[in-house]
A and B are shown apart, each in its own frame.
Chain A
Amino acid sequence: MRRKNICLIFIKNVDIIEHLFYYISMEREREELSEEKKTEYRTAGSTGEDAEENVESNIEESIEESIEESIEGNIEGDAEETAERNAGYGCREIEERKELPAAGPRSGEALVKAEGGELPVMEKLRILTDAAKYDVACTSSGVERKGSGKGMGNTKLAGICHSFSADGRCISLLKILFTNYCIYDCKYCVNRISNDVERTAFTPEEICSLTMNFYKRNYIEGLFLSSGIIKNPSYTMELIYTAIWKLRNIYRFEGYIHVKAIPGADAEIIYRLGLLADRMSVNLELPTAEGLRNLAPNKNRTTILKPMRQIQNGIVSSKEEVALYRHAPQFVPAGQSTQMIIGATPESDYQIVSVAESLYQKFALKRVFYSAFVRVNEDKSLPALPGGPPLLREHRLYQADFLLRYYGFEAKELLSEERPNFNVLLDPKCDWALRHLELFPVEVNKAPYEVLLRVPGIGVKSARRIVRGRRLSNLQFDDLKKIGVVLKRALYFICCNGKMMYRTKIEEDYITRNLLDTDNKRPPQPDIINGREVTYKQLSLFDDVTWTRKKLADIR
């Protein structure tokens, strides 16, 4: 009986508890930030600084400074205002609202009519899909939710890719812009205000009916909604909110919704949208603040990082609430992601990977996406890119990204100030292994899981199966092959019961030659140049060139 009463008390007071958590998390974060600043000053003073640490701490500093500015500058005012507004919009009340908020803006329909011209949905879809296609953050993964039986839709944790486009990327969500009108003039974007493209906008009803009809036929897994900025960020987000609210509450859509948060919008509207969406993301656009200043003068680092911090805190406090009361509304259950453009500004791979690492650690992002720069505008501040978009570089960055997230690597292990760019012929894992041959060969039957993960050719699933399988019996090379280890690469680095598969020299050049042979990537040079064999060191000469698939094919 007592437990029931306590639960009742909790339910009634959840609103209060929610505000408490918000305050507590703000406080904790302020403490953390001040502590971090203290340790930074301490280490900078006491130990000597390497060139490496300099760059790293510079990047970290710049991110932290912007966080500091954004948080400490505004948070006192914001917290009180949001608390007041939250008291009015208690989370339970938002869900139970039967009609749209009266103070919402006019719908896209009125907007389009005002600008003149009403296009058929087919044309609108063509224009707004074309405008949205450079946003690559399009996955439907991260949350597993069953249907309620009263609506349409569910989600799968791994995500489902319903189709694949001609460029090989997966089509899993209906990726559209609400409108491609925009007041900003970012130089890399096809929708910039100074471009002369046909502009249009959807109405919320059109978006909802498109989503529901495509979903019913199993064409898509959900909706990905972004927008150009009309009037100001908060106004645009309110428009997006009308569409999403309708989709969730009137059409009863229970599939996946990914919404882009526009930097500069009110914290309160982001909070409301986060209760309806599964994933939210804010585009970082460019890896460094100066790159952003050069190419997107209307955006700045502070306004981009502030909503990222807010979403992160919202996710944490929502999880704590759900632990208390299972049916509390969830805020952005599939997590947060972001996107960076690669190749538009002259940052090195090392800088990009360091930024990604900081984002994962400080903002608890689910994923960082890298988008190879495609030259859609003629502008003197954009690079020429004669070989086409830097696809190989993007591929290497994604490989490094997976190493950071799943294989326990750190950015400084993969790259450094002296080697700021990735090896073009070998993937980052092989490259790291070849530079650390003193750690190999690894005994498969005895080595710990973390060490097995570092062997080229052994992935997460194979490592897991090895660890579970070797408890029951000793593993041989045949068993490893059945498990799914890529023996062609791994054989140079592992041994079973003390014996390696073939007699190999644990030597950089020999292994590199053989690895490249296996991948058919060896440049057609003779093995002996100037009387000496081709060495691994010579490969680094190629690092300065911008490689593309076509160039690689030409050389072969």
Chain B
Amino acid sequence: MEIVVFLCENSIEGILTGVYDAWVEALSSGLGHARCRLQTELLQPELFCTYRETAPDMEKAGKVIRTLRKRLGEEVYECLCYAMASREPDKAEAVYKTIVAGLSMKQGYRVLDKVTDPYVARCFDLKRNVGSEIHRELEFLRFQELQSGVLLAKIHPKNDVLMYLGPHFSDRLPLENFLIYDMSRRKALFHEKEKDWYMMEALELDAGMAGRISTEEEYYQDLFRMFCHTIAIESRENRALQRQFLPLYFRDVMPEFA
């Protein structure tokens, strides 16, 4: 009863390369998909398992992506991408087994309806979790205008959602230079005026440059603070409801609560 566990890098390319390698192994060695597993990190070595490392490979990942988009459709592909951005340790396994389930069905785009499959259900949960975090980041992200005219935003999301904010903000602010900085992962997404958006990793934000905010910035922060404060109706005060919609851990980078 040999189980082969593939350890992949914690990124979309890494996981999809892992899927490719695990698939090859499952079919070639006759083990079948049930005896192959995918993990992003070694949590606890188990008995009767062999562990294999896989390095991310753009070509293999590209092949998997093409197959997914063709056979399972864009909606399922988007769901899998969201699930892969999650921080849960079992995401790789859920994604791998969902792909197995999807490609074994005649109508692959229906795989997410197969709620009886525990891995599909887990994938849907992860997607829902990441999707709602993306929506809340879109809501609560705040830009500060620097003296150079660049708009700087700092976020610290629980899941790795930085990439999904790019299309929305570059469509919304095409004529602005902006930078969104993920403080916990040290990644940045930046956009130049009238150009496309890009991401960079392993960055440190220069505290001096980030501190130089423009003169009007304080003024507009004060205006907005006063606006939020005035618009509440005192006889309907309900702090618990406010906390339910706007959790406390978002509030440190929002000027109206800081």
Please, what's the 1-or-0 string for A59-77, where 1 marks a CB less than 8 Å from any CB in chain B?
Answer: 0000000000000000000
Verify B245–A170 contact, CB threshold 8 A: yes
A271 contacts B by Cβ under 8 Å = no
Closest-by-CB residue of A relative to B256 is A163
A167 contacts B by Cβ under 8 Å = yes
Q: How far is the CA of A174 from the CA of B224 in the complex (A)?
A: 9
Q: How far is the CA of A372 from the CA of B236 in the complex (A)?
A: 9
Closest-by-CB residue of B relative to A175 is B231
Verify B245–A217 contact, CB threshold 8 A: no
A409 contacts B by Cβ under 8 Å = no
Chain A contacts for B2, CB-based, 8 A? none
Q: How far is the CA of A162 from the CA of B227 in the complex (A)?
A: 13
Q: How far is the CA of A516 from the CA of B249 in the complex (A)?
A: 33
| Minimum distance in angstroms from A140 CB to a CB of chain B | 11
Q: Restricting to A415-464, which residues have a CB under 8 Å from any CB of B? A: none
Verify A482–B174 contact, CB threshold 8 A: no
Q: How far is the CA of A144 from the CA of B83 in the complex (A)?
A: 25
Q: How far is the CA of A388 from the CA of B125 in the complex (A)?
A: 41
Verify B113–A471 contact, CB threshold 8 A: yes
Verify B172–A152 contact, CB threshold 8 A: yes
Taking A171-B231, A468-B113 as contacts, is the C-beta distance between A391 and B236 under 8 angstroms? yes
Verify B232–A165 contact, CB threshold 8 A: yes
A219 contacts B by Cβ under 8 Å = yes
Q: How far is the CA of A372 from the CA of B235 in the complex (A)?
A: 11
Verify B230–A469 contact, CB threshold 8 A: no
Verify B231–A129 contact, CB threshold 8 A: yes
A499 contacts B by Cβ under 8 Å = no
Closest-by-CB residue of B relative to A146 is B171
B143 contacts A by Cβ under 8 Å = yes
B212 contacts A by Cβ under 8 Å = no
B13 contacts A by Cβ under 8 Å = no
Q: How far is the CA of A333 from the CA of B199 in the complex (A)?
A: 35
Q: How far is the CA of A153 from the CA of B242 in the complex (A)?
A: 27
Q: Which of B172, B227, B239 contacts A147 (CB 8 A)?
A: B172
Closest-by-CB residue of A relative to B124 is A482
Interface size on B, residues (CB 8 A): 53
Closest-by-CB residue of A relative to B238 is A168
Verify A217–B142 contact, CB threshold 8 A: yes
Chain A contacts for B224, CB-based, 8 A? 214, 217, 219
Q: How far is the CA of A283 from the CA of B224 in the complex (A)?
A: 27
Q: How large is the interface on A (under 10, 10 to 19, 20 to 34, 35 or more residues)?
A: 35 or more
Chain B contacts for A255, CB-based, 8 A? 172
Chain A contacts for B143, CB-based, 8 A? 216-218
Taking A160-B138, A162-B140, A171-B231 as contacts, is the C-beta distance between A217 and B113 under 8 angstroms? no
Taking A164-B245, A168-B242 as contacts, is the C-beta distance between A214 and B226 under 8 angstroms? no
Q: Which of A168, A216, A473 contacts B241 (CB 8 A)?
A: A168
Closest-by-CB residue of B relative to A152 is B173
B39 contacts A by Cβ under 8 Å = no
Q: Which of B220, B228, B230, B245 contacts A168 (CB 8 A)?
A: B245
| Minimum distance in angstroms from A474 CB to a CB of chain B | 8
Taking A129-B227, A161-B139, A165-B242 as contacts, is the C-beta distance between A472 and B110 under 8 angstroms? yes
Looking at chain B's contact residues, the main secondary structure is helix
Q: How many A-B residue pairs have CB under 8 A?
A: 150
Please, what's the 1-or-0 string for A148-159, where 1 marks a CB less than 8 Å from any CB in chain B?
Answer: 011111100000
Q: How far is the CA of A132 from the CA of B232 in the complex (A)?
A: 11
| Minimum distance in angstroms from A152 CB to a CB of chain B | 6
Verify B236–A122 contact, CB threshold 8 A: no
Verify A469–B114 contact, CB threshold 8 A: yes
Verify A126–B230 contact, CB threshold 8 A: yes
Chain B contacts for A34, CB-based, 8 A? none
Greatest chain B CB density within 10 A among A125, A146, A472 is at A472
Chain B contacts for A476, CB-based, 8 A? 116
Chain B contacts for A320, CB-based, 8 A? none
Q: Which of B115, B233, B246 contacts A479 (CB 8 A)?
A: B115
| Minimum distance in angstroms from B238 CB to a CB of chain A | 4
Q: How far is the CA of A218 from the CA of B171 in the complex (A)?
A: 13
Chain A contacts for B115, CB-based, 8 A? 465, 469, 475, 479, 482-483
Q: How far is the CA of A210 from the CA of B219 in the complex (A)?
A: 11
Closest-by-CB residue of A relative to B143 is A217
Chain A contacts for B76, CB-based, 8 A? none
B31 contacts A by Cβ under 8 Å = no
Closest-by-CB residue of B relative to A480 is B115
Please, what's the 1-or-0 string for B168-197, where 1 marks a CB less than 8 Å from any CB in chain A?
Answer: 100111111000000000000000001000
Q: How far is the CA of A219 from the CA of B245 in the complex (A)?
A: 16
Chain A contacts for B241, CB-based, 8 A? 164, 167-168
| Minimum distance in angstroms from B83 CB to a CB of chain A | 15
B222 contacts A by Cβ under 8 Å = yes
Closest-by-CB residue of B relative to A129 is B230
Chain B contacts for A132, CB-based, 8 A? 231
Please, what's the 1-or-0 string for B215-258, where 1 marks a CB less than 8 Å from any CB in chain A?
Answer: 01000101110111111111111111110111000000010100
Verify A214–B220 contact, CB threshold 8 A: yes
Verify B231–A472 contact, CB threshold 8 A: no
Chain A contacts for B174, CB-based, 8 A? 147, 149-150, 152
Q: Which of B175, B220, B231 contacts A217 (CB 8 A)?
A: B220
| Minimum distance in angstroms from B133 CB to a CB of chain A | 14
Q: Which of A214, A216, A389, A479 contacts B116 (CB 8 A)?
A: A479
Q: How far is the CA of A523 from the CA of B115 in the complex (A)?
A: 39
Verify A168–B231 contact, CB threshold 8 A: no
B103 contacts A by Cβ under 8 Å = no
Verify A389–B239 contact, CB threshold 8 A: no
Taking A217-B144, A374-B233 as contacts, is the C-beta distance between A154 and B171 under 8 angstroms? yes
5 further A-B pairs in the complex, CB-CB below 8 A; given A154-B172, A216-B143: A126-B230, A168-B240, A214-B220, A374-B233, A475-B116
Interface residues of A (CB under 8 A from B): 121-122, 125-126, 129-130, 132-134, 146-147, 149-154, 160-171, 174-175, 210, 213-214, 216-219, 255, 372, 374, 388-389, 391, 465, 468-469, 471-476, 479, 482-483
List 10 A-B pairs, minimum CB-CB distance, nearest first.
Answer: A168-B241, A167-B236, A166-B232, A165-B232, A168-B238, A468-B113, A469-B115, A129-B230, A217-B143, A164-B245
A-B CB contact pairs (8 Å), 24 listed: A125-B223, A125-B226, A125-B227, A130-B230, A133-B233, A149-B174, A150-B174, A152-B173, A152-B175, A161-B139, A161-B245, A164-B241, A165-B228, A165-B232, A167-B237, A167-B241, A167-B242, A168-B236, A168-B244, A217-B151, A217-B220, A218-B143, A472-B116, A483-B115
Interface residues of B (CB under 8 A from A): 110, 113-116, 121, 125, 135, 138-145, 151, 153, 168, 171-176, 194, 216, 220, 222-224, 226-242, 244-246, 254, 256
